[in-house]
Amino acid sequence: MISYLEWSANAVFVISVILAARNNVNTWWTGIIGCGLFAVLFYQVNLYADVTLMVFFILTSIYGWMYWGAKKQLHPIQRTKMTNFVSFIAAAVLATLAYGWLLHEMTDAYAPFIDSIVLMFSVLAQFLLMKRRLETWVCWLIVDTVAVPLYFSRELYLTAFVYGLFWCNAWYGLYSWIKIYRSENKGEKTWQQSPLSAD
């Protein structure tokens, strides 16, 4: 039976993700609430790595809220240089292998390497989202693609279903942000490389 806590956590988190896809600054404070609820839920079922991820999301959401501007004074959407993005992906893969091995050797974690993909690519996606980088949605697509079967196998059926919706929303977010990026850059090529350090 799905608990009220799981219903509440997913409901608030859905709102946060939809707001992110709509380029809305309110994604951050709703995300903080959703992550807090999920942290409690995961703690109750002994998913401590997921608790750590939720705490990370809360801390980075506070920073993201400040970066985007609490008064909706939004920074423009930007691109990441392809060489930098490839380096980020490679680093996430290496971190996944290292953390997955650590969990495999030192804990009784369920599907440690698969779970590590969700963790590491969520971290990368979150940092890109905070900086309003278009590539954040590519990373979220990876996360959601892996998370759906993972959570389903843990019998977290509602959460798996919601992450399926997140997968669809990530496609919408990518489309929406490409459209906004083109508008902000007056028709420049969507995949034009931009400096990582640009604000």
Q: For residue range 153-185, what is the model confidence (pLDDT) as tens digits?
A: 888 899 899 899 889 989 999 999 999 999 888
> How would residue 188 be classed by pLDDT, with cut points 50, 70 and 90?
low
Asked whether the predicted pLDDT for residue 17 surpasses 90, the reply is: no
Q: Quote the percentage of the chain above a pLDDT of 70.
A: 90
Model-wide pTM > 0.85: no
Q: What is the pLDDT of residue 73?
A: 58
Q: What is the pLDDT of residue 78?
A: 92
Q: How far apart are CA 173 and CA 3, in angstroms?
A: 29
Q: What is the pLDDT of residue 85?
A: 97
Distance of CA 142 to the CA centre of its chain: 10
> How would residue 191 be classed by pLDDT, with cut points 50, 70 and 90?
very low
Geometric angle at alpha carbon 170, from 125 and 5, rounded to 5°: 80
Q: How far apart are CA 172 and CA 159, in angstroms?
A: 20
Q: How far apart are CA 162 and CA 199, in angstroms?
A: 33
Q: Is 79 exposed, middle or buried (0-12, 13-18, 19+ CB in 10 A)?
A: buried
Please compute the mean of the pLDDT values over residues 10-33 and round it to a whole number: 88
Q: What is the pLDDT of residue 189?
A: 54
> How would residue 49 be classed by pLDDT, with cut points 50, 70 and 90?
confident
